[in-house]
């Protein structure tokens, strides 16, 4: 957690609207940039410790590599974000294009990336997605990029191909896959995390003596944050910080303040 200036960081989500080429794109690039600046400003003013940029509006998602025009648009938006905030930011390219996310972060002074499937494989609505840790770690070396890799375990909107213990998967993510942090989520966007699963992941991390943070990836609210963050090392929060608690709505600065106050 050296990236952040606090022991239990809150990372707020900037969910981008549909980008050019996506089915829901409304033809207005200027409005996307405006929304980005407004959401980022509300998150930083509300007190988050970091920001995650994600192409959330691009559903249905490509299962792995996205087209070059998507990379170009997200890179331009990441550069805009860097100009308007002082907190660390990261990039997630859905559904699992961590190579593009890593390149964007390296080029725009991003501090971290999120990868949904880093090792192993998961069955998703995009089909079978396989981890590419071997490519991701080598690309980071080639780019000489000081960018942390935050990897999901049992990522939301997916199912395992075979049941395996959290101890096994944690070991593979970190010891064999080189992840710098582990993300534990609920079953879907905005869904609460299973506290038993969270505790098992933390216990597996501790039993193996691994010096990596365990972050919550969905479903954190002002009411649940104190208890959850007594176990986890931080949280990535999106839906609870939006107007009316709807994921696609603009960020509500007052909601950000309530969550940050509950954590602090």
Q: Is the pTM of this model over 0.85?
A: yes
- At 218 the three-state DSSP class reads coil
The first and second tokens of residue 231, run together, are 């176990």
Give the per-residue pLDDT at 66.
Answer: 98
Find the mean pLDDT for residues 228-256: 97
pLDDT-above-90 percentage for the chain: 92
Contact yes or no for 113/92 (Cβ under 8 A): yes
Give the chain's domain count: 1
Using pLDDT thresholds of 50, 70 and 90, give the confidence band for residue 191: confident
Does residue 176 belong to any structural domain of this protein? Answer: yes
Q: What are phi and psi of 237, to 5 degrees?
A: -125, 130
Give the per-residue pLDDT at 211.
Answer: 95
Find the mean pLDDT for residues 18-36: 96
Find the mean pLDDT for residues 108-129: 96
Does residue 5 belong to any structural domain of this protein? Answer: no
Name 14's Cβ contacts closer than 8 Å, sequence gap at least 6: 36, 39, 40, 43, 51, 52, 53, 54, 81, 251
Give the per-residue pLDDT at 189.
Answer: 87
Q: Which helix (H) or strand (E) holds 114?
A: strand 112-115
Q: Residue 146: left if φ>0, alpha if ψ -120 to 50, beta else—which one? A: beta
Give the per-residue pLDDT at 196.
Answer: 94
Q: How many CB atoms within 10 Å of residue 130?
A: 12
Tally the residues of the chain. Answer: 264
Half-sphere exposure at residue 23, Cβ-oriented, CA atoms within 13 angstroms: 4
CA pair distance 114, 111, nearest whole angstrom = 11
Does residue 150 belong to any structural domain of this protein? Answer: yes
Does residue 18 belong to any structural domain of this protein? Answer: yes
Span 54-109, pLDDT tens digits: 999 999 999 999 999 999 999 999 999 999 999 999 999 999 999 999 999 999 99
pLDDT at 1 over 80: no
Span 130-189, pLDDT tens digits: 999 999 999 999 999 999 999 999 898 999 999 899 999 999 999 999 999 999 998 888
CA distances from 156 to 54, 109, 171 (A): 15, 28, 20
CA pair distance 40, 45, nearest whole angstrom = 8
Which residue in 58, 19, 16, 11 sits closest to 39, CA to CA? 16
Does residue 1 belong to any structural domain of this protein? Answer: no
Give the per-residue pLDDT at 190.
Answer: 81
Does residue 56 belong to any structural domain of this protein? Answer: yes
Which structural domain range is residue 227 located in?
10-262
The mean pLDDT of the chain is: 96
For residue 57, the Cα-to-chain-centroid distance in whole angstroms is 15
Does residue 3 belong to any structural domain of this protein? Answer: no
Give the per-residue pLDDT at 218.
Answer: 92
Domain with residue 75: its CATH number is 3.20.20.70
Using pLDDT thresholds of 50, 70 and 90, give the confidence band for residue 20: very high
CA pair distance 84, 175, nearest whole angstrom = 36
DSSP label of 175:
I
DSSP label of 133:
H
């Amino acid at each position: 957690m050296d990236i952040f200036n606090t022991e239990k960081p809150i990372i707020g989500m900037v969910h981008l609207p549909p980008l050019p080429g996506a089915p829901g794109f409304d033809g207005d690039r200027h409005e996307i940039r405006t929304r980005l600046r407004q959401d980022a400003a509300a998150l930083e003013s509300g007190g988050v410790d970091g920001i995650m940029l994600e192409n959330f509006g691009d559903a249905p998602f490509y299962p792995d590599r996205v087209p070059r025009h998507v990379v170009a648009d997200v890179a331009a938006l990441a550069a805009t974000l860097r100009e308007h905030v002082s907190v660390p930011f990261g990039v997630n390219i859905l559904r699992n294009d961590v190579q593009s996310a890593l390149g964007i972060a390296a080029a725009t002074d991003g501090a971290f990336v999120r990868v949904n499937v880093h090792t192993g494989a998961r069955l998703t609505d995009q089909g079978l997605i396989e981890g590419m840790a071997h490519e991701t770690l080598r690309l980071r070396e080639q780019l000489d990029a000081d960018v942390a890799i935050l990897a999901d375990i049992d990522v939301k909107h997916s199912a395992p191909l075979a049941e395996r213990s959290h101890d096994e998967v944690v070991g593979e993510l970190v010891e064999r896959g080189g992840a710098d942090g582990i993300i534990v989520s609920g079953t879907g966007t905005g869904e609460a995390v299973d506290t038993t699963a969270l505790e098992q992941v933390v216990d597996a991390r501790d039993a193996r003596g691994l010096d990596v943070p365990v972050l919550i990836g969905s479903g954190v609210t002002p009411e649940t944050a104190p208890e959850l963050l007594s176990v986890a090392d931080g949280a990535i929060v999106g839906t609870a910080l939006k107007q009316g608690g709807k994921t696609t709505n603009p960020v509500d600065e007052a909601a950000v303040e309530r969550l940050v106050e509950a954590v602090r």
